[in-house]
Chain A
Amino acid sequence: KAGVTQTPRYLIKTRGQQVTLSCSPISGHRSVSWYQQTPGQGLQFLFEYFSETQRNKGNFPGRFSGRQFSNSRSEMNVSTLELGDSALYLCASRSNSNTEAFFGQGTRLTVV
């Protein structure tokens, strides 16, 4: 069974640009969550999607948005990038009934 796949693995963007990250969950998993990991703030919850609906949202500005498609694949978008958005962005998937969250390898975003 393939794991959670995130693309791209690495990304360099300039301040003010926007970026879209992709996450393909484990087959059969309908829930996808996104986290931002930085050395200073640790792992912080961004949002969670289930069956194409956002169920939870963390304390991030509106520049951070996401969506989920009918095949459960999810994307997150960050607009008007700031230097402080440089981080490892992780997504995690789980089935509806299984508690365990499986993480992808992450996308390392660098904003210059």
Chain B
Amino acid sequence: GENVEQHPSTLSVQEGDSAVIKCTYSDSASNYFPWYKQELGKRPQLIIDIRSNVGEKKDQRIAVTLNKTAKHFSLHITETQPEDSAVYFCAARMDSSYKLIFGSGTRLLVRP
């Protein structure tokens, strides 16, 4: 069945360091991969997404890479700041479906 695995479940980094979160999806028909950030008590908010015809996408300190062959995609945050502390979710979806399959989430803590 459809599944997205996400690692690590928790990540603690020093302010200014980089953080990397990795996801693996099972359905090879998936072609859209968004990343959401959820702060405590708030709604998930899209921070970056990538489609399967692109290998990498960058937006300031955030980048996402996709390896379709291995069915892996990763979120990279550089120069982390305390306000980056949140839970991050990866997800995968097929164009033919609106069903987003989410990873289990990564709790990122950026230590000042």
The interface of chain A, by Cβ under 8 A from chain B, is 31, 33, 35, 42-45, 48, 50, 55-56, 58, 90, 92, 94, 99-106
| Dominant secondary structure of chain A at its interface with chain B | strand
Q: Are A42 and B100 interface neighbours, CB within 8 A? A: no
Can you pick out 13 interface pairs between chain A and chain B where the beta carbons lie within 8 Å of each other? A33-B99, A43-B105, A45-B99, A45-B100, A55-B97, A56-B97, A90-B43, A92-B100, A99-B32, A99-B34, A99-B51, A101-B34, A103-B43
Q: How far is the CB of B89 from chain A (nearest CB, A)?
A: 6
- Asked, given contacts A42-B104, A43-B44, A105-B43, whether A100 binds B49 with beta carbons under 8 Å apart, the answer is yes
Partner of B49, one of A31, A43, A44, A99: A99
B46 at interface, CB cutoff 8 A? yes
Residue numbers in A under 8 Å from B103 (CB-CB): 42
Nearest 8 interchain pairs by C-beta:
A43-B102, A103-B43, A48-B98, A42-B104, A56-B99, A103-B44, A45-B99, A105-B43
Q: Are A48 and B46 interface neighbours, CB within 8 A? A: no
Q: Are A56 and B98 interface neighbours, CB within 8 A? A: yes
